[in-house]
Structure formats: structure tokens, C-alpha cells
Amino acid sequence: MYGSLVKPGRFREWSDVDLAFESLPTGMTLEYLQSLLTADVGREVDVCMLGRTRLQPMIESEGERWIA
């Protein structure tokens, strides 16, 4: 998790949830995972692949690791 969700006082009612994944569940596309999470959470979820984003250094240093 990264972005406003992990910064105290920054997450608002209109904020999206930013998630970076190291890998996708088998047989799932990034777009499908994003739509499932958005529907489940009830707010916009932005999903990226950690190894394919220019934000990787920031996510690794400022993000919160979540293992489910």
C-alpha cells in the first residue's frame, strides 16, 4: 500500500487506494484485479506492478507492506 492511505492525515473520503503487487494471482489480469478490488472496497483502487512502475523506489521506501 502506498500514497495517501499510508500518510497520516492525508487519506480523505474521495481518496483512492493505491496498491502495488509483486505478482498477480494466477489467471488474473491487472485490470480485472483492479475492478474486483474497487468493487470490494467500495472506492477506486489503483493497482500497479511493483517491478514495472517508475514509483518502485518511493513505494519500497514509503509504502506499507501487506501480506494477505
Per-residue pLDDT reduced to its tens digit, 40-60: 999 999 999 999 999 999 999
Q: How many CB atoms lie within 10 A of CB 1?
A: 13
In sequence order, what are the residues at sequence separation of 6 or more whose Cβ sits closer than 8 angstroms to the Cβ of residue 44? 16, 17, 38
Give residue 68's pLDDT.
72
- Examine the pLDDT at 67 and tell me if it is beyond 90: no
Element (H, E) at 20: strand 17-21
Please report, rounded to a whole number, the percentage of residues in the chain having pLDDT higher than 90. Answer: 96
**What are residue 56's DSSP bridge partners?**
none
pLDDT at site 66: 86
In whole angstroms, give the CA distance from residue 32 to residue 44. 13
